[in-house]
Chains A and B, each alone.
Chain A
Amino acid sequence: MKLLAIFCFLSLSLVCFSQTLSDTVLDLQADSMTLGQFVQLTNRLIPGVIYCPDEFSMLPTRATNQHNLTLHDLLEYQVEHHGLDILFHRNSIGVIVRKEEKFRQYTSDYYQVLEESIEAAQSNEQREMVIGTIDQINNTGETRITGIVRDQETNEEIIGATLILEDQSIGTATEPDGSFVLTVRSGSYMLVVQYVGYQVQRLPIKVISSGQLDISLERSTVLLDEVVVQAKARDINVQSTQVGVSRLSTREIEKLPSFLGEVDIIKGLLLQPGVSTIGEGSQGFNVRGGNVDQNLIMIDEGMIFNASHALGFFSSFNSDIVSEAVLYKGTMPASYGGRLASALDIKVRDGSFDRWHAKGGLGLVSSRINIDGPLVSDKTSVLLSLRSTYSNWLLKQVNIPEVKASSAYFYDLNFRLSHRFNEKNNLSASAYVTQDQFSFNKEFGFDYQTAMVQMQYRKILGLKTLSTTNFVWSRYDSQQDDLDSTDASLYQTGLEYLKIKENVNYLGEQLQANAGFSAIYYQVDGNRIRPTSVISLIQPEASDAQKGIEWSLYADFDLEISARLSVIGGLRYSIFNALGPQNTFTYVDPTKPTAEGILEPIRIEDGIVKSHFNLQPRLSMRYNLTANSSVKGGYGRTAQYINQIYNSETPTPTSFWQLSNQYILPQLAHNFSLGYFQNFSDNLWVTSIEGFYRNIDQLFDFRDFADLLVNEHLETELLPGIGRSYGVELSINRQVGAIHGWLNYTYSKSQRKVKGINEGNWYVSNFDKPHDLTLITNFQINKRNSLSINFTYGTGRPITVPVNKYLVQNRVIVLNYSDRNAFRVPDYHRLDFSYTLAQGFRKSKKFKTSWTFSIYNLYGRRNAFSVFLEQGSTGGTKIKRLAVLGSAFPSLTFNFELL
């Protein structure tokens, strides 16, 4: 509106263009105004940009009425009486400077900063966009703006971008397909669109009638984006209804210090409150005191059963192609199920529909490249991503015989083909393949791989309804090769599943709903072992294959009851059928199967052997106390029908999966969460305190010295019990600024009670970690240079240690162990550092590069993974510590992006 007023006093017209900006000829008729206003209006009509530094912007201009004046003369006329002059650069920029500064030497940096400032200024100076037409105007004056928010580079839909009409209390966020609906009255507004990692778009719009408005958001400067782990919008932690959610943008973790320079989503998750691991090199992660296998890990709709490379040092997700990772801790929406503790939903982005794009990196351990672009412009896109290690070559350079004779290799490959039939119908097909091979000194080796293919068909059924149909096939195989002569053998295990899921979203203004069904058919291979040499004493053995099908029906709704109160309610009903044929046993007491209680082996033919039914209600509520604070609560019942079997500290490649059956019951849990969320200083500071309690009313643990490998009556090695975990998570997050970062602290307990272990008393689980603290600080020194320093502290993990020893038959020293998990290793702490040097950013640059130097474990802390006793030949005993990483680990990574 201010601009309109100014026009009343100014008439400025462009007469002609000349060869240079300064020679552009203008007609001028204007009253006095500020220099800033004058420049702003001039910029609308010239083919370049005039820049007026803030310090001069409030100076008055002269009233004038002149014709055929060059831009140079015009500006000189307006600024000379203030002791100022105009400095022209190239043929596109003019900048107002003090007279004495005009003839100084200016470096290229100066002009670069100038260009950036002007670009920023230009982005705020867009023309008003008209939506709708006069002939469609509604007599009520009410209109609906619909559209899709996309990434400007890749054309990928952006989930969760916020759209707010400035100075109005109207706003919304985009849905999983990037779409949004805004209901407003006809009129002129300033629409502000924002999403983390993207530049804020301020669009002046004039709404006449209902209409379409598609918006493209431009990413923040390459590698200069803020290192912030946050939810959808800066105030999402207060405004969202779902409790216990962590969202992680991979762009946000790129600059965090990483082990050997490998950017890793899972490692990023470990910095979130309530997420922990038992130590470096261990597979998976623990959420709120849950087992590793109690986390549902999904790439789109495909479940992953081993998400690690190099035996757990890295995750198998290439962060370059991940658009978002969302972790639901306990109280998850009804569309997620099948695991007790959490759901990690990783979304892979589509390839760009309008231009080719390449991105990659070279690190010490591996390199990655991904290429995406349109096969048919705006119709079909393709994305191909490959990450592979060259650690084999490096191992050969090490002058240690065992290392030289060892090999370690992994790769992961992602492929995605997306096609838009029209505005309402999309189809995507994707493939995900990973492989790991490791062998040590020709003595033993591991090999495991995942293959997954999935198809997704999305159809917009109406303005408010979206249907998504998914088909997934996946196979996971794992094997261990023992090369020792008489033990030479090959152990193999694996599983395969087929999943079908149909989901319908309703996207109303006050009510959003989601309903669907899924069916997962599991086929778990029996564990097999066979000899691999003629002198091997290993006999071929195999346990029974298992089959099962998990049916789920679910529905949930997100209802904005009032401006203060919103509710997400949901219900999931799942049926698990354990299927035959099956070779099993009958027991004296089928509720407590033991090896001694076996009556006879039996065979059950095809059909349903056992069915388990579980109704799983889900509820989350939010009540806004003020505009910047809210209270949230949540409850979720969860059930798990597939379990990973291992009785070591961490899952191994020989761990296998076991379906629920007539003896091994599903694991069941109640999850409760309650939190208070408060933001300060216009969402600059985001804080929360969240409590949780999980009651596991059905779980199992392993007997002492359980015999798990190729055991045909595995149920006799499992002991049923109950569990509980509870805690408080505190988070303080400064989201933006030259210095930003976060502090997360979790106090929690995770306990089990199993008859047959520790005399049936409560004992802490292997991943009980009462104190867990993470401090991340990021220093954005300038646009090129940034620094990140992270500190992590956690209580030492529980272990079982020898408490005494005795001599058997005057010959053998026997170590006598404590109750299970009765002791802890020393506390864990670690300081990491990283420095990123990005090149100066220019929009015109097609090739962007950056270097990241990081040191993991800066002060070389030897954090104990375990403490054990080593017996000397004379009976003396030494306490030893195993530190998986015992020194500082520097790394250097080169990243590039070709636009």
Chain B
Amino acid sequence: MIKHLWLVMFICWGACIDEIKIDLPEARLQQKVVEGYVERDQNKYILWGQVSLTQNATGSFAPEPIGALITIRYNGNIDISIPEGTITRIPIDEFHRLYGGTPDEARFQLIAEVQGQRYHSAEQKIIPVPKPDSLTVKTELRTEVNMNNNITENRYVKLLVHTPLLNTKNELVSLSWVVSSAFQFMEGMRSNPFYDEKTCYSIYNVYQNDINVAGVQDYPGKRTIHNIEIAETPNDFRFSIACYFTVVQKSLNQESIDYWKEVKASNERTGNLYDVFPGRIRTNIINEIDEEEIVNGFFHASEVDTIRLRVNPDMVDYPRQRCLLWMEPEIITADDPDPCLDCLKLANSSLEPPHYWK
């Protein structure tokens, strides 16, 4: 009896979270979101910018560029027009041949013109990014309560990065990471000896809303950081043959790291008693005509470096196996959703491996 009482009590203390129907004070006017970035990897500059509108907090999400003229101003006086919402890639050599200057001195600014208004960002300089040392994975077994309130034991795979904070100019640099993955998947073995089972490659972006950043002030005195957890995913069939993690490491200046930390703090609120108060996320964009207009968004300039890790089943204690087909239907139709029978049914799957696959 006491057990049950405590069960009820503790569940309610810790997890009395449910959906509620109330009217949130949705903003009457949509605000503009002006954003863009200039990134540079070993070979090229990547330019992107767009203007969109905020959406209701509870509404469906379909942000669309609203038809702005996007310009990247280079070194204060050279305007480079780019298509809104589309990535523009320019090889480094060609960029400087066209627009002059050197990579070390490059400064960028975003300018957007839309609906009779003109917006510009603060000028940003690209800080060289340290090259990441390595990636590793580790597994974790966690006892959890599932949706049906049953106790289950679940395995997870965590991706860890190890990297210096010092760049080639001996500067300590704040970093951010964007993680994606792709995995290999083999259809189940058929009884028909003439059927050639397919192997697919699927891009899996479960991490897209995670914000992984590290500010140099978070690690005072450190020149290298290790075991920074930048992704976590269930240890499941995606590790049964092979999986690749791709991590793009970006350099951030102080204002950018502060921006991302504020976004992270806003997104990680869970409504608990010890949540830090939310606030208005900073921006480095202003309306030149109406400076009072509330504008969202940020313009970043970063150098990026990419590192990958191939994860084989033995690295995460997952049995190496093709998809297990328990019962093969007599007639396989195109509508059959089982990827064991047709691996192209997997989301974002292709028969062609990514270019980096080995």
Q: A521: CB under 8 A from chain B? A: no
B7 partner residues in chain A, CB cutoff 8 A: 398-400
Structural contact, B211 and A401, CB atoms closer than 8 A? no
Structural contact, B227 and A880, CB atoms closer than 8 A? no
B56 partner residues in chain A, CB cutoff 8 A: 804-805
Given contacts A877-B57, A881-B20, are A398 and B31 in contact (CB under 8 A)?
no
Give the residue of A541, A649, A801, A807 whose beta carbon is less than 8 angstroms from that of B63.
Answer: A807
Give the residue of B6, B20, B272 whose beta carbon is less than 8 angstroms from that of A394.
Answer: B6
Q: B266: CB under 8 A from chain A? A: yes
Q: B329: CB under 8 A from chain A? A: no
Would you give the 0/1 interface string for B248-291, flagging 1 where the beta carbon is closer than 8 Å to chain A?
00000000000001110111011111111111110000000000
A591 partner residues in chain B, CB cutoff 8 A: none
In the complex, how many angstroms separate the beta carbon of A758 from the nearest chain B beta carbon?
Answer: 9
Q: Write the chain B residue with the least CB distance to A882.
A: B271
In the complex, how many angstroms separate the beta carbon of A650 from the nearest chain B beta carbon?
Answer: 5
Within 8 A of A (CB), among B15-48: 16-22, 24-27, 30-31, 33, 35, 37, 48
Of the candidates A652, A703, A814, A869, the one having the most CB atoms from chain B within 10 angstroms of its own CB is A814
Given contacts A400-B10, A541-B220, A826-B22, are A705 and B55 in contact (CB under 8 A)?
no
A826 partner residues in chain B, CB cutoff 8 A: 20, 22
Q: B357: CB under 8 A from chain A? A: no
Given contacts A862-B18, A866-B272, are A705 and B221 in contact (CB under 8 A)?
no
Give the residue of A650, A705, A804, A875 whose beta carbon is less than 8 angstroms from that of B265.
Answer: A705
Size of the chain A interface, CB-CB below 8 angstroms: 77
Q: A698: CB under 8 A from chain B? A: no
In the complex, how many angstroms separate the beta carbon of B43 from the nearest chain A beta carbon?
Answer: 21
Given contacts A394-B2, A397-B6, A885-B12, are A823 and B25 in contact (CB under 8 A)?
yes
Q: B209: CB under 8 A from chain A? A: yes
How far is A76 from B151 in the complex, measured between Cα atoms in Å? 80
Structural contact, B13 and A649, CB atoms closer than 8 A? no
Structural contact, A813 and B267, CB atoms closer than 8 A? yes
In the complex, how many angstroms separate the beta carbon of A809 from the nearest chain B beta carbon?
Answer: 7
Within 8 A of B (CB), among A845-899: 862, 864-869, 871, 873, 875-887, 889-890
Given contacts A398-B10, A886-B16, are A486 and B228 in contact (CB under 8 A)?
yes
Structural contact, B57 and A537, CB atoms closer than 8 A? no
Structural contact, A815 and B25, CB atoms closer than 8 A? no
A400 partner residues in chain B, CB cutoff 8 A: 7, 10-11, 145, 151
In the complex, how many angstroms separate the beta carbon of B216 from the nearest chain A beta carbon?
Answer: 11
In the complex, how many angstroms separate the beta carbon of B194 from the nearest chain A beta carbon?
Answer: 40
Structural contact, B60 and A885, CB atoms closer than 8 A? no
Structural contact, B20 and A879, CB atoms closer than 8 A? yes
Give the residue of B8, B55, B208, B262 whose beta carbon is less than 8 angstroms from that of A812.
Answer: B208
Would you give the 0/1 interface string for A535-553, flagging 1 where the beta carbon is closer than 8 Å to chain B?
1010101000000000000
B315 partner residues in chain A, CB cutoff 8 A: none
In the complex, how many angstroms separate the beta carbon of B151 from the nearest chain A beta carbon?
Answer: 6
Given contacts A394-B2, A704-B279, A880-B19, are A806 and B219 in contact (CB under 8 A)?
no
Q: B77: CB under 8 A from chain A? A: no
How far is A806 from B56 in the complex, measured between Cα atoms in Å? 9
Give the residue of B33, B60, B178 whose beta carbon is less than 8 angstroms from that of A806.
Answer: B33
How far is A880 from B56 in the complex, measured between Cα atoms in Å? 16
Within 8 A of B (CB), among A813-844: 813-818, 820, 822-823, 826
A885 partner residues in chain B, CB cutoff 8 A: 12-13, 16
Structural contact, B20 and A880, CB atoms closer than 8 A? yes
Q: A689: CB under 8 A from chain B? A: no
Structural contact, A867 and B273, CB atoms closer than 8 A? no
A647 partner residues in chain B, CB cutoff 8 A: 276-277
How far is A703 from B280 in the complex, measured between Cα atoms in Å? 10
Q: Write the chain B residue with the least CB distance to A702.
A: B277
Structural contact, A875 and B273, CB atoms closer than 8 A? no
Q: Write the chain B residue with the least CB distance to A283.
A: B273
Structural contact, A805 and B55, CB atoms closer than 8 A? yes
Structural contact, A811 and B178, CB atoms closer than 8 A? yes
How far is A830 from B276 in the complex, measured between Cα atoms in Å? 27
Q: Write the chain B residue with the least CB distance to A406.
A: B10
Q: Write the chain A residue with the least CB distance to B55.
A: A805
Give the residue of B228, B262, B272 whose beta carbon is less than 8 angstroms from that of A882.
Answer: B272
A879 partner residues in chain B, CB cutoff 8 A: 19-22, 24, 58
Q: B148: CB under 8 A from chain A? A: no
Q: B121: CB under 8 A from chain A? A: no
Q: B170: CB under 8 A from chain A? A: no
Give the residue of B12, B14, B54, B263 whose beta carbon is less than 8 angstroms from that of A887.
Answer: B12
Q: Write the chain A residue with the least CB distance to B222.
A: A539
Structural contact, A648 and B55, CB atoms closer than 8 A? no
B240 partner residues in chain A, CB cutoff 8 A: none
A878 partner residues in chain B, CB cutoff 8 A: 19, 58
In the complex, how many angstroms separate the beta carbon of B175 from the nearest chain A beta carbon?
Answer: 13
A886 partner residues in chain B, CB cutoff 8 A: 12, 16, 18
How far is A867 from B3 in the complex, measured between Cα atoms in Å? 30
In the complex, how many angstroms separate the beta carbon of B196 from the nearest chain A beta carbon?
Answer: 34
B37 partner residues in chain A, CB cutoff 8 A: 809
In the complex, how many angstroms separate the beta carbon of B256 from the nearest chain A beta carbon?
Answer: 12
In the complex, how many angstroms separate the beta carbon of B52 from the nearest chain A beta carbon?
Answer: 7
In the complex, how many angstroms separate the beta carbon of A440 from the nearest chain B beta carbon?
Answer: 9
Q: A43: CB under 8 A from chain B? A: no
B184 partner residues in chain A, CB cutoff 8 A: none
In the complex, how many angstroms separate the beta carbon of B215 from the nearest chain A beta carbon?
Answer: 10
How far is A881 from B12 in the complex, measured between Cα atoms in Å? 12
Q: Write the chain B residue with the least CB distance to A857.
A: B12
Structural contact, B273 and A805, CB atoms closer than 8 A? no
Q: A164: CB under 8 A from chain B? A: no
In the complex, how many angstroms separate the beta carbon of A435 from the nearest chain B beta carbon?
Answer: 20
How far is A719 from B124 in the complex, measured between Cα atoms in Å? 29
Q: A813-B209, A814-B266 are in contact. List 8 more A-B contacts (CB 8 A).
A: A398-B7, A649-B277, A804-B30, A804-B55, A812-B211, A816-B57, A817-B266, A817-B279
29 A-B pairs (CB sep. < 8 Å): A400-B145, A486-B228, A539-B220, A648-B274, A649-B274, A705-B279, A800-B278, A804-B30, A804-B55, A805-B55, A807-B52, A808-B263, A809-B37, A809-B48, A811-B209, A815-B278, A826-B20, A862-B18, A864-B20, A865-B271, A868-B269, A868-B271, A877-B61, A878-B19, A880-B18, A885-B16, A886-B16, A887-B12, A887-B16
